[in-house]
């Protein structure tokens, strides 16, 4: 089976688990994003047809929730926590330093598609603020220097996520 066929059959399984119910739309989109990495237009159309829901409904839900990604992210994902505790502890300075160092704006991906920079509203590790997340690793009590170094290390390690 090709990669796209495997992914489709995984998605099919998820939808079956939920009996193609409308109320499971959030779960299905969540799992679809795990399987495909992001929610492309084609994927959303596919889901809307499978669940027999109007595309406007599926697109409406996908665009409403901030955790759904509608564009393909880069190989590595760096997320800055912009929760109150992290903000008070100076995460904004770290974010600006990262933006400058890697020439990428928050919400965007570098031209070489190696690095995406996102912000999140609180990962809940506030006692360790400020927090940065490099791929899946949480860096607590982060500083500009440590964050940049960790990102460089991740970039050196080669692609973490397979991209299409």
Partner 1 sequence: MKLDELQEIAEHEVDFQRAYKYRINVCCSSGCVPFGAFKVLKAFEDAVKELGVEKECKVARTGCIGTCSVGPAVLIEPGDYLYQSVTPEKVREIVRDHIVLGLPAKEMLYSDKAFFEKQHRLVLRNAGKIDPSRIQDYIAMGGYSAIAKCLATMTPQGVIYEIRTSGLRGRGGAGFPTGQKWSLVARAQNTPKYIVANLDEGDPGVFANRTLAEADPHAIIEGMLIAAYAVGAEKGYLYIRSEYPLAIQTLQKAIAQGKTMSLLGDNVLETGFKFNLELRFGQGAFVAGEETAILASVEGRRAMPRPRPPYPANSGLWGKPTLIQNVETLANIPLIVQNGGLWFHKIGTPKCTGTKCFSLTGKINNPGLIEVPMGTTLREVVFDIGGGIPEGKRFKAVLVGGPSGGCLPETLLEVPIDYDSLTKAGAIMGSGGIVVIDESDCMVDTAKFFTEFCVDESCGRCTPCRAGLPRMKEIYDRITSGIGKVEDVQTLEKNGVFIRDASLCGLGQTAPNPILTTLRYFKEEYMQHIVEKKCQAGKCFRSKEAEA
Q: What is the DSSP string of 98-148?
A: HHHHHT--TTEE-TTSSEEEEEES--S-GGG-S-EEETTEEE-S--HHHHH
Annotate 7-48 with DSSP letters as a single string: HHHHHHHHHHHTTT-GGGHHHHHHHHHHHHSS--HHHHHHHH
**x-or-dash pattern for partner 1, window 90-129, by CB under 8 A?**
------------------------------xxxxxxxxxx
Site for partner 1 contains 10 (CB under 8 A): no
For residue 138, list its beta bridge partners. 133
> Cβ 138 to partner 1, closest distance in Å?
4
Q: Does 11 bind partner 1 (CB under 8 A)?
A: no
Question: Between residues 110 and 140, which has the closer beta carbon with respect to partner 1?
Answer: 140
CB of 100 to partner 1, least distance (A): 11
Burial 1-28 (b: 16+ CB within 10 A, else e): eeeeeebbeebeebbeeeeeeeebbeeb
Q: Which of 17, 22, 101, 145 binds partner 1 (CB under 8 A)?
A: 22
Half-sphere exposure of 5 (CA within 13 A, CB side): 2
Residues with Cβ within 8 Å of 42's Cβ and at least 6 positions away in sequence, in order, are none
Among 1, 67, 158, 164, binds partner 1 (CB under 8 A): 67
Q: Binding segment for partner 1 among 9-17, 99-107, 136-144, 146-154 (CB under 8 A)? A: 136-144
Among 21-29, 40-48, 70-78, 102-110, the segment contacting partner 1 (CB under 8 A): 21-29
Tell me how far, at minimum, the Cβ of 112 lies from partner 1, in Å. Answer: 27
**Residues lying near partner 1 in the complex (CB under 8 A):** 21-27, 29-30, 57, 60-61, 64-68, 82-89, 120-129, 137-140
């Amino acid at each position: 089976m090709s990669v796209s066929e495997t992914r489709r059959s995984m998605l099919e399984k998820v939808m079956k688990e939920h009996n193609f119910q409308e109320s499971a739309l959030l779960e299905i989109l969540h799992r679809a994003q795990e399987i495909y990495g992001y929610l492309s237009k084609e994927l959303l159309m596919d889901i809307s047809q499978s669940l027999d829901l109007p595309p406007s409904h599926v697109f409406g839900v996908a665009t409403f929730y901030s955790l759904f990604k509608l564009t393909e992210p880069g190989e590595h994902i760096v997320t800055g926590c912009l929760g109150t505790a992290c903000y008070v502890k100076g995460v904004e300075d770290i974010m600006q330093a990262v933006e400058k160092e890697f020439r990428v704006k928050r919400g965007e991906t570098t031209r070489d598609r190696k690095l995406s920079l996102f912000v999140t509203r609180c990962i809940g590790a506030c006692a360790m603020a400020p927090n940065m997340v490099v791929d899946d690793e949480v860096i607590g009590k982060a500083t500009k220097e440590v964050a940049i170094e960790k990102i460089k290390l991740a970039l050196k390690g080669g692609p973490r996520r397979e991209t299409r």
